[in-house]
């Protein structure tokens, strides 16, 4: 298969490219510099020229506070551009795999959200991604929509200027104490694991909407404490509530995704987020990061 990756410089895109480069499939990486997805004509031209069998769209404007300030851009990147890509894929018979988010849900559930739960986003980012999903379903017959949550990957999220793990490690190295919410629950997910599962789904010809996250769930505070514990940092996080931190953005308090279709279709559940976190820390230490080297040597 010839597989084009949009957003190939991002944290998920980087892991997808690495896995594809070591496979029999042909990789076509497309960075933001190569193509702004909002440029409809260039996007259609590029897909016509490249003729991939599969397009995996990981590109997004997902800095949640910035989306709230700039809804036009959020909808341009996460919704309108996605519709154009989907229409081009339909015309050129390209299978579209599109990434979405747990933030399409309102967080009022007390059990993990199944794939068929009704979206009810609380913020502009979630609304733009939910709208993008609807337009994919409407515009291209052969599609896969994968919702995920709380990503951490070795490339670091370019859109957010690093990821949460990196932020905690940086604060620890500067002996600064992070204050982290205890009342937002989610499933942290390692992009390497997600990329592996995405490629399995794509190769199996999976169609429709899937939830794909590492197993288990925690609060951002628990996640922070585990990161600091695993890396034997000298600091602890300070717990707080969402209400203690004024923000222009409403966020779901519970956005755990039931990986129901994966289970029903016999896929191996993704490993626990804690195991994935340890692998991430080991991988970054092996790549020579002094902040985590001691942990691997211990």
Binding span for ligand NAP by CB under 6 A among 48-56, 144-152, 241-249, 271-279? 144-152
In degrees, rounded to 5, the angle at the alpha carbon of residue 134 between the alpha carbons of residues 262 and 160 is 75
Question: Which residue, 10 or 178, is less far from ligand NAP as judged by CB?
Answer: 10
Is 196 among the residues that bind ligand NAP (CB under 6 A)?
no
Pair of tokens at residue 184 = 């937002």
Cβ partners under 8 Å of residue 1, min gap 6: 25, 26, 53, 54, 202, 203
Q: Please count the residues of this chain forming the interface with ligand NAP, following the rule CB under 6 A.
A: 26
Tell me how far, at minimum, the Cβ of 256 lies from ligand NAP, in Å.
13
Token look-up 């997600």 returns 194
User: From the CB of 105, what's the least distance to ligand NAP, in Å?
Assistant: 11
- Part of the chain binding ligand NAP (CB under 6 A), chosen from 4-12, 18-26, 87-95, 109-117: 4-12
Does position 157 interact with ligand NAP (CB under 6 A)? The reply is yes
**Which x/- pattern, by CB under 6 A, does the window 200-239 give for ligand NAP?**
----------------------------------------
Q: How far is the CB of 252 from ligand NAP (least distance, A)?
A: 12
* Residue 219, helix vs strand vs coil: strand
Instruction: Between 47 and 77, name the residue whose CB sits nearer to ligand NAP.
Output: 77
Q: Is 99 within 8 Å of 12 (Cβ atoms)?
A: yes
According to CB under 6 A, which residues from 58 to 97 bind ligand NAP?
Answer: 58-62, 77
Tokens 């794509």 locate to 202
Site for ligand NAP in 5-64 (CB under 6 A): 7, 9-13, 32, 35-38, 58-62
x/- string (CB under 6 A) for ligand NAP, residues 236-265? ------------------------------
- The Cα angle at residue 175 between residues 192 and 220, in degrees rounded to 5: 45
158 contacts ligand NAP (rule: CB under 6 A): yes
User: Dihedral of the CA atoms 38, 41, 43, 45 (nearest 10)?
Assistant: -170
User: What is the DSSP annotation of 250-296?
Assistant: ---SB-PBP-HHHHHTTPPPPPBHHHHHHHHHHHHHHTT-HHHHHHH
Q: Look-up: residue for tokens 């291209």? A: 140
Q: How far is the CB of 242 from ligand NAP (least distance, A)?
A: 17
How does strand 185-186 pair with strand 218-219?
Answer: antiparallel
- Are 60 and 77 spatial neighbours (Cβ–Cβ below 8 Å)? yes
Rounded to a whole number of angstroms, the minimum distance from the CB of residue 37 to ligand NAP is 4
Q: How far apart are CA 284 and CA 295, in angstroms?
A: 11
Query: Is residue 159 near ligand NAP by the rule CB under 6 A?
Result: yes
Asked if 99 touches ligand NAP (CB under 6 A), the answer is: yes
CA proximity to 76, closest of 158, 142, 135: 135
Interface with ligand NAP by CB under 6 A: which range of 146-154, 197-205, 255-263, 276-284? 146-154
Token output for 114: 């199944």
Residue whose CB is less far from ligand NAP, 35 or 96: 35
Residues designated as active site: 125
Give the nearest distance from C-beta 61 to ligand NAP in angstroms: 6
Using CB under 6 A, list all residues that contact ligand NAP. Answer: 7, 9-13, 32, 35-38, 58-62, 77, 99, 101, 148-151, 157-159
């Amino acid at each position: 298969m010839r597989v084009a990756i949009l957003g190939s410089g991002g944290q998920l895109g980087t892991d997808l490219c690495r896995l594809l480069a070591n496979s029999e499939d042909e990789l076509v990486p497309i960075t933001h510099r190569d193509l702004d997805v909002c440029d409809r004509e260039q996007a259609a031209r590029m897909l016509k020229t490249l003729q991939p069998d599969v397009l995996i769209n990981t590109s997004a404007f997902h800095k949640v506070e910035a989306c709230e300030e700039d809804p036009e851009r959020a909808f341009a990147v996460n919704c309108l551009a996605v519709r154009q890509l989907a229409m081009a894929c339909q015309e050129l018979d390209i299978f579209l795999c599109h990434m979405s988010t747990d933030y399409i849900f309102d967080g009022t559930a007390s059990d993990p959200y199944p794939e068929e739960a009704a979206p009810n986003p609380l913020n502009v980012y979630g609304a733009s991604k939910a709208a993008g999903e609807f337009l994919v379903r409407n515009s291209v017959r052969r599609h896969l929509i994968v919702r995920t949550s709380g990503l951490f990957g070795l490339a670091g999220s370019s859109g957010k200027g690093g990821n949460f793990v990196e932020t905690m490690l940086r604060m620890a190295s500067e002996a600064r104490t992070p204050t982290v919410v205890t009342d937002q629950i989610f499933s942290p997910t390692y992009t390497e694991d997600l990329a592996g599962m995405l490629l399995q789904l794509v190769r199996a010809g999976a169609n429709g909407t899937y939830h794909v996250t590492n197993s288990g769930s925690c609060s951002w505070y628990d996640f922070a404490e585990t990161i600091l514990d695993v890396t034997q940092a000298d600091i602890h996080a300070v717990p707080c509530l969402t209400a203690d931190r004024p923000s222009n953005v409403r966020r779901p308090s519970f956005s755990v995704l039931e990986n129901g279709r994966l289970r029903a279709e016999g896929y191996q559940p993704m490993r626990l987020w804690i195991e994935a976190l340890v692998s991430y820390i080991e991988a970054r230490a092996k790549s020579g990061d002094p902040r985590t080297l001691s942990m691997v040597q211990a």
